[in-house]
């Protein structure tokens, strides 16, 4: 275990070539990566077209507090830029600037503002974007209104259609809501509020093609991305190990979540890739249970922990299900072994050329057969306690953009079968409230896969052995709070 920890730390200390800033980690993707991605998209764009991307919206949490900002993954992939209120245009062909120069991409970004930076954080501004992200044609977002581009000259203007869910800040005339309004005017977007919508009306606006193009790019991970996915997965695995060691009946679900998140943050992962799922007993039957409120987990129960760290934007997605007592009951073990078998059946065929549907089918057939043998379902019943798919891409999104046809070298995917038997199900009550998901992450190689999450114990005997190990948290005992009784 010691060796694993040291090698993990060594791996995590590798830098990926950015100017040193002591306030920031030094292993973000390089500007060259993002430049190449923009070029790769340009190659895929149809003739005489432009692709327009908007940064993610700032969302209000309550009153004057916003949710922590997270950049739109496509925008991040193409730029590296993590601030809001911005728009990026990528052109198939060179455009002529008023000064006669040629350009094929342009970005309008949040401007420097001393007062706002004191309140909400540093901004790169247009000069910072040029320097840090190598996008030479960078302007303040106020300039977008005056940007005189004739969108009607393009055969296609590609963008994601708007969901009309962006708040306008009346004190900012170039926030995202304004940039969208300005774009709609420039591109003659048939806004239902302004114009009667004529479904037959022909225009050059294309809201469908960008998603498949971005999926084709993002589904194959470059070596730089693989390194970050690996780190996200490794820190998430080590956090699962630490949770297994620290697990005790009587802990709260929130405490378990806290241990996982503390460990991955100790390894410098910045965030969760999705809300942590920690469900003990019947809570495990809620597939995306995020409340994690049960104050005292019970010795008799399993606990399902679907937890993934985000590391420099890339997320892991790993589920371990373990007995809170440290030992599986016979029924828990039978269900667990069946889910494990389903996962291993899918792993046997996990290689380029296999389809996502083949993987799903392998897990379903195994689970249906096993549940029949255990007398939990009857002949002819299918997928009763396995209601979800088994695999998806991971990357900048936990359910990453990608096609769902054949596996290809360079894809990063999950395999995650599960069985969930809620109370009052039509089977022997001894199976009730058993919920098991086992989820691992894989990188597709030339002839098979690299099991990225193998560090997190997965077999019954390995889980039970890990849970017997001492935890540094055993001696972390907090005092009672001085609350009046
Ligand atoms: N954590 C979400 C999922 O497994 O797909
Ligand atoms: Mn998943
Ligand atoms: Mn998951």
pLDDT in tens, 180-189: 999 999 999 9
Task: Report how far ligand 2's centroid is from the alpha carbon of 73 (Å).
Answer: 17
| C-alpha span between 299 and 92 (Å, rounded) | 61
Task: Report how far ligand 3's centroid is from the alpha carbon of 363 (Å).
Answer: 16
Domains of the chain: 2-216 (3.40.350.10), 221-466 (3.90.230.10)
The reported pLDDT for the residue numbered 2 is: 39
Question: Do the bridges between strand 49-54 and strand 87-96 make them parallel or antiparallel, or are there none, so unpaired?
Answer: antiparallel
3-state secondary structure of 156: strand
Q: 135-154 pLDDT, tens per residue?
A: 999 999 999 999 999 999 99
The reported pLDDT for the residue numbered 4 is: 42
The reported pLDDT for the residue numbered 212 is: 98
Ligand 1 touching residue 440 (CB < 6 A): no
The neighbouring-strand residues paired with 89 are 52, 106
What band does 18 get if pLDDT is binned at 50, 70 and 90? very low
pTM: 0.94
Closest residue (by CA) to atom 3 of ligand 1? Answer: 317
**Would you say residue 238 has pLDDT above 80?**
yes
Q: DSSP readout, 237-285?
A: HHHHHHHHHH--TT--HHHHHHHHHHHHHHTT--EESS--EEEEGGGGG
Closest residue (by CA) to atom 5 of ligand 1? Answer: 399
What band does 20 get if pLDDT is binned at 50, 70 and 90? confident
Q: 296-349 pLDDT, tens per residue?
A: 999 999 999 999 999 999 999 999 999 999 999 999 999 999 999 999 999 999
Stretch 226-242: mean pLDDT: 98
Ligand 1 touching residue 306 (CB < 6 A): yes
What band does 485 get if pLDDT is binned at 50, 70 and 90? confident
| C-alpha span between 320 and 416 (Å, rounded) | 10
Q: 370-429 pLDDT, tens per residue?
A: 999 999 999 989 889 999 999 999 999 999 999 999 999 999 999 999 999 999 999 999
Residue 389 · residue 361 · CB < 8 Å = no
Q: DSSP readout, 447-470?
A: SSEEETTTTS--SHHHHHHHHHS-
**Would you say residue 87 has pLDDT above 60?**
yes
| C-alpha span between 379 and 369 (Å, rounded) | 9
Ligand 1 touching residue 398 (CB < 6 A): yes
Stretch 247-274: mean pLDDT: 98
Task: Report how far ligand 3's centroid is from the alpha carbon of 249 (Å).
Answer: 24
Across the beta sheet with 314-315, what order do the strands follow? Answer: 271-272, 309-311, 314-315
Residue 404 · residue 359 · CB < 8 Å = no
What band does 1 get if pLDDT is binned at 50, 70 and 90? very low
What band does 7 get if pLDDT is binned at 50, 70 and 90? very low
């Amino acid at each position: 275990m010691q060796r694993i920890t040291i090698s993990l730390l060594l791996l995590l200390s590798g830098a990926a070539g950015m100017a040193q800033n002591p306030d920031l980690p030094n292993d973000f993707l390089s500007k060259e990566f993002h430049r190449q991605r923009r070029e790769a998209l340009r190659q895929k764009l149809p003739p005489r077209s432009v692709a327009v991307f908007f940064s993610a919206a700032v969302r209000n949490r309550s009153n004057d507090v916003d949710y922590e900002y997270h950049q739109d993954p496509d925008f991040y992939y193409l730029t590296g830029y993590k601030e809001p209120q911005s728009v990026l245009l990528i052109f198939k062909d060179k455009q002529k600037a008023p000064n006669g120069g040629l350009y094929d991409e342009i970005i309008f970004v949040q401007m420097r503002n001393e007062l706002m930076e004191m309140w909400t954080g540093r901004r790169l501004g247009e000069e910072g974007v040029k320097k840090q992200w190598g996008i030479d044609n960078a302007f303040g977002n106020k300039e977008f209104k005056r940007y005189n581009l004739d969108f009607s000259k393009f055969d296609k203007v590609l963008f994601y259609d708007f969901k009309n869910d962006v708040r306008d800040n009346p004190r900012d005339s170039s926030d995202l809501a304004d940039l969208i309004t300005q774009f709609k005017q420039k591109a003659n977007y048939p806004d239902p509020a302004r114009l009667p919508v004529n479904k037959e009306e022909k225009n050059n606006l294309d809201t469908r093609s960008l998603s498949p193009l971005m999926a084709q790019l993002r589904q194959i991970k470059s070596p730089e991305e693989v390194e970050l996915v690996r780190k996200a997965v490794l820190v998430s695995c080590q956090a699962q190990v630490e949770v297994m060691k620290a697990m005790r009946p009587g802990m709260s679900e929130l405490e378990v979540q806290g241990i996982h998140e503390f460990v991955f943050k100790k390894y410098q992962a910045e965030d969760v890739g999705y809300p942590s799922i920690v469900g003990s007993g019947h809570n495990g039957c809620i597939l995306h249970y995020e409340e994690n409120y049960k104050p005292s987990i019970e010795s008799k129960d399993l606990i399902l922990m679907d937890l993934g760290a985000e590391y420099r934007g890339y997320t892991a997605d790993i589920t371990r299900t373990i007995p809170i007592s440290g030992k599986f009951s016979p029924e828990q073990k039978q269900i667990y072994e069946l889910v494990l078998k389903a996962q291993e059946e899918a792993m046997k065929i996990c290689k380029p050329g296999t389809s996502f549907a083949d993987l799903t089918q392998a897990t379903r057939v195994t689970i249906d057969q096993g549940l029949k043998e255990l007398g939990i379902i009857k002949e002819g019943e299918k997928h009763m306690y396995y209601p979800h798919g088994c695999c998806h891409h991971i990357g900048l999104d936990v359910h990453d953009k990608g096609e769902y046809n054949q596996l290809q070298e360079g894809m990063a995917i999950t395999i995650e079968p599960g069985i969930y038997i809620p109370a009052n199900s039509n089977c022997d009550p001894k199976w009730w409230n058993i919920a098991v998901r086992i989820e691992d992450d894989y990188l597709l190689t030339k002839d098979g896969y690299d099991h990225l999450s193998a560090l997190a114990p997965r077999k019954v005997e390995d889980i039970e052995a890990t849970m017997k190990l001492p935890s540094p948290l055993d001696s972390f005992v907090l005092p009672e709070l001085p609350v009046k009784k």
